[in-house]
Structure 1
Amino acid sequence: MGVQRTDLDVRPLGDGELPDWIRAMRTGFLRTPTPTPREVEIRSGAPGRLYGAFDAGRCVATYRSFDQRVTAVGGAPVAANAVSNVTVSPTHRRRGLLTRMIDADLRAARDRGDLVATLIAAEYRIYGRYGFGPAAGATEWEIDVARTGLDPRRPVPEEPGARLDLVDPDGVRALGPALYERVHRGQPGAVDRDARWWQRATGLFATGDEPWKEPFCVVHRSTDGTVDGLLVYRTDEKWGEGKRPLNTAAVEELSAATPAAERALWRYLCAVDWIATVRTGPRAPDSLVADLFPDARAARVTTAADWLWVRLLDVPGALTARSYEAAGSVVIEVVDEPLAAGGPSGGRFRLDAGPQGSSCTPTTGSAELVLPLGALARLWLGDASVRRLVDLGLVEEERPGAAARADALFRTGRRPWCPDLF
């Protein structure tokens, strides 16, 4: 980890230090360092907790956390400590600055009663040593529209009485939050969105380096008029020889409360004149788009990677917050990572679970499975296979058959996914 320097001051930000913090953060993310006054103004009103490391008064590392709700398997909103804006300046790497910041923040989160911590990892190898594990992945596809095999004469949407309507950003702000509330409660791994999220997404304020440009926005209404789908996309303007359109549509948001709405929105986008290619952006690994078209090879995977990382701060609390489709029990020994950021969360627990509820209590009984805290995070949202983790050497099966019983408990019919980058 390198040598920790005790003369480096790691603490919450004080008055007047935000511009210097933003400069350090932008430097870490390879952006033009000096922030605009507008960015300072916007970030000064953002919720959350800001930490920094200071060397002779200059900010050399940044860290932000904020309150979040993440949807557990079964739909329960779980109190989470979301971690973001983590950077260490190139001049101050390997000095233990992230360890000091994340440890202080996660200890405070445990004291508040947060059950988990979450983050989107820019680099894979950093957060495993703090007890985080990749709990939900994301996949991106590129769709060759001409190859889909869709019948242009087929009506979209297909349900009688359903319809699609173009809306402006005001319409998205009016209709989007209620729709997303329905969607994220049914999607393990999804996180809540506040009013600022919708304002930022619809151009009321932006902290990016490029001016915000209005996208195209479409809502799907069911037969009773209820909005149950939202699509937001942007297009380029590219033409080939012979006046052949080569435009690409890039999806920024596609939320659907029903499979029919999701199918209709994908088919709508692939039927828009002049669009030759659709880039889906990060989607759930089991998104319908993978097998939606008559020629499934029209949708080509361009990226399949980890996305949402989770650290369980309260193992019994997190395991009992989710639901279980099968009934059974298993004794697990959770080994915390060496750095134990936020304080140790390990121990030996007996999980008794079933469709009617669950309990998770400390036990002195013999462990049937031994696993690190990060491996348990892979299981919490139902995405990983215990058997596969055993084969990878990440989980030790102390009693034959324990992996199969645990798989029956933890696995789910829908893969987890977090629609947001934070």
Structure 2
Amino acid sequence: MGIEVRTVGDADIPDWMRAMKAGFLLPPSEISDEEIEHRRGHYDPDRTQGAYDNGRWVATFRSFPQELTVVGGAWVPADAVTSVTVSPTHRRRGLLSRMMANDLRAAKERGDAVATLIAAECPIYGRYGFGPATWCTEWHIDVARAALDPRHAGPDDGGRIDFADAAEVRETGPALHDRFRAGQPGAIDLSGAWWQTHTGAVPLPRHPARDRFHVIHRSASGEAQGLATYRADDVWEHKLPQNTVTVDRLTATTPAAERALWRFLCSIDWALHIRTGTRGPDDLLPYHLGDPRAARIVQHADYLWIRPLDVPRLLEARTYPVSGSLVLEVRDGAELAGGRFLLEAGPAGATCTRTGRSAELTLDVGAFAALYLGDESAARLAALGRVDEERPGALATADLLLHTARRPWCPDLF
């Protein structure tokens, strides 16, 4: 084709970043020197690639190491895929396929168990073996209808909520997040660079970090149990406030801390509306309000997609609520993770090995991805023609073993 797909060197970064911005419909002129230096300090040249044609970058692709929490609280090494663009001048030329093949092959060789991404467009990534593993929901809260006690003056669990500056968030936030993600399948680790960006230590164009408020919930003993970050507009009509609070992040390690933070947000003077940001699809939020109907869903969509690279490792890493066995035939056109596997699992642990036994369920690697974190039902996928039941009762066994009582959730964009 005459188009070179290659890794990105240090001198390439400014032009590569302009191509990435253009691919995301962001003005490339807004790239600052600080942003370029930030990228130079936090990228792996072996995992940053693109397509180069006639002296210009026309496609971009980057990955980085990540930890993905699975059912039971363990984590597996993941290849996090991001910054994926193809210029509209170079569509339908196989550039994404070439970059994706390079990255997934390298991830498999490194020993990553899975690849992850946040899909900007739904139809693209299924053809590379990805499947939607978590979903997200966003609510709009009508504060006046929330029916909360107007005399509410603070947490009712003996704790307290205080404002925090950016430095305190950088000090307290990482350990709090690590405790949170240990109990939340689908959550990912956050780097020091992420916390720098989140708190505005690294000024980026079109980034509201410096306009954010941060509050920390602490228990009666002083332990940090929750963190909320939000913005507020300043809109008045006829000398009456019409303001909306937009929540960028709310993390809590206990239901009491979560409830206290939502009630704090609903008690902010002059705030009539709250946009919750992306939450888990079975979030408790509506039931923290006196009237759950005050929280109206404004967005519900797939979020984290995963691409299995090592089926036995993935199945042995998670936990199971009951004992059982299942023979899975996983089909993978890219020949990265396919095979026939015997899963023998129970509350005490699991083993998964290749087997010559007859398959009980047959599915492609993308359907396995949708099942793995416990969000999807094997019976539903079978009804959609994505899973074949080879032994009567195998669908029920799969759902007993894999489905979870609470849905997985990934709070973070990457």
Q: Do these two structures clear the TM 0.5 threshold for a shared fold by scoring above it?
A: yes
Equivalents in 2 of 1:234, 1:211: separation in Å? Answer: 8
What residue in structure 2 maps to residue 139 of structure 1?
137
- Where do 1:12-411 residues align within 5 Å? 12-34=7-29, 35-48=31-44, 49-160=47-158, 162-210=159-207, 212-241=209-238, 243-336=239-332, 338=333, 340=334, 343-411=335-403
* Aligned equivalents of 1:154, 1:299: Cα separation in 2: 19
Per the TM alignment, residue 406 of structure 1 is displaced from its structure 2 partner at its CA by 0.6
**Cα shift readout 1:298-336 (whole Å, capped 9, x = no counterpart):** 000000000000000011111111111111011111111
Q: How many angstroms does 1:270 deviate by?
A: 0.2
Q: CA deviation at 1:365?
A: 1.1
**What is the distance in 1 between the residues matched to 2:229 and 2:155?**
17
- Amino acid aligned to 1:11: R
Larger CA deviation: 35-44 vs 128-137: 35-44
Superposed CA RMSD in Å reads 1.2
- Asked if 1:8 is matched to 2:8, the reply is no
| 1:46 aligned partner, one-letter code | H
Residue deviations 1:168-212 (CA, integer Å, cap 9, x gap)? 111111111111110011100100011111111000103333564
**Structure 1's 16 and 205: CA in aligned 2 closer, same or farther, altered over 3 A?**
same
* Partner-residue secondary structure (3-state), 2:28: coil
* Partner AA of 1:68 in structure 2: Q
The one-letter code sitting in structure 2 at the alignment partner of 1:178 is A
Q: Equivalent pairs: percent with the same residue?
A: 56
Give me the whole-angstrom Cα distance separating, in 1, the residues matched to 2:279 and 2:358: 40
Deviation, 1:387, is 0.9
Give yes or no for contact 2:67–2:78 (8 Å, CA) kept in 1: yes
TM-fit CA distance, 1:155:
4.3
Deviation by residue 1:249-305 (Cα, 9 ceiling, x = unmatched)? 000110001000000000010011111000000011111113221211100000000
Contact 1:284 1:417 in 2 (8 A): yes
- Report the 3-state secondary structure (helix = DSSP H, G, I; strand = E; otherwise coil) of the residue aligned with 2:122: coil
What residue ranges of structure 1 are gaps of 5+ in the alignment? none
For the residue of structure 2 that corresponds to 1:237, the secondary structure is: coil
Match 1:412 to one of 384, 400, 404? 404
Structure 2 gap ranges (5+): none
* Distance across 2 between alignment mates of 1:289 and 1:158: 17
Q: Secondary structure at the match of 2:63?
A: strand
The question of whether the paired residues in 2 share the 8 Å contact of 1:202 and 1:214 is answered with no
Given that residues 312 and 377 in structure 1 are in contact (C-alpha distance below 8 angstroms), is that contact kept between their aligned partners in structure 2? yes
Is the CA contact 1:74–1:188 (under 8 Å) kept in the aligned structure 2? yes
Amino acid at match of 2:14: P
Task: Report if aligned partners of 2:199, 2:210 keep a CA contact under 8 Å in 1.
Answer: no
Q: Match of 1:63, SS?
A: strand
Amino acid at match of 2:87: S
Contact 1:234 1:249 (8 Å CA) reproduced: yes
- The two structures have a TM-score, normalised by structure 1, of 0.95
Instruction: Say if 1:42 and 1:207, in contact at 8 Å, map to a contact too.
Output: no
Instruction: Compare 114-123 and 56-65 and name the one that shifted more.
Output: 56-65
Whether contact under 8 Å (1:143, 1:279) holds in the other structure is yes
After superposing the two structures, state which structure 1 stretch, 27-36 or 85-94, moved more. 27-36
Instruction: For 1:250 and 1:86, locate their aligned partners in 2 and report how far apart those are by CA, in whole Å.
Output: 27
Per-residue CA deviation, residues 80-139 of structure 1 (Å, 9 max, x unaligned), is 000000000011111110111111111111111000000000000000000000000010
- In the alignment, is the contact (CA less than 8 A) between 2:198 and 2:209 conserved in 1? no
Q: Which moved more, 1:165-174 or 1:133-142?
A: 165-174
Letter in 2 for 1:10: V
TM-score under structure 2 length normalisation: 0.97
Q: What one-letter code is carried by the residue in structure 2 that aligns with 1:299?
A: A
1:213-261 deviation digits (Å, cap 9, x = unpaired): 33111111111110101111100011223x2221100001100010000
- 2:164 and 2:214 in contact (8 A); partners too: yes
Q: Distance in 1 between matches of 2:86 and 2:234?
A: 39
Question: For 1:233, what is the secondary structure of its paired residue?
Answer: strand
Whole-Å separation in 2 of the counterparts to 1:293 and 1:363: 51
Deviation at 1:11, TM superposition (A): 1.1
SS in 1 for 2:306: strand
Contact 1:63–1:83 (8 Å) recurs in 2: yes
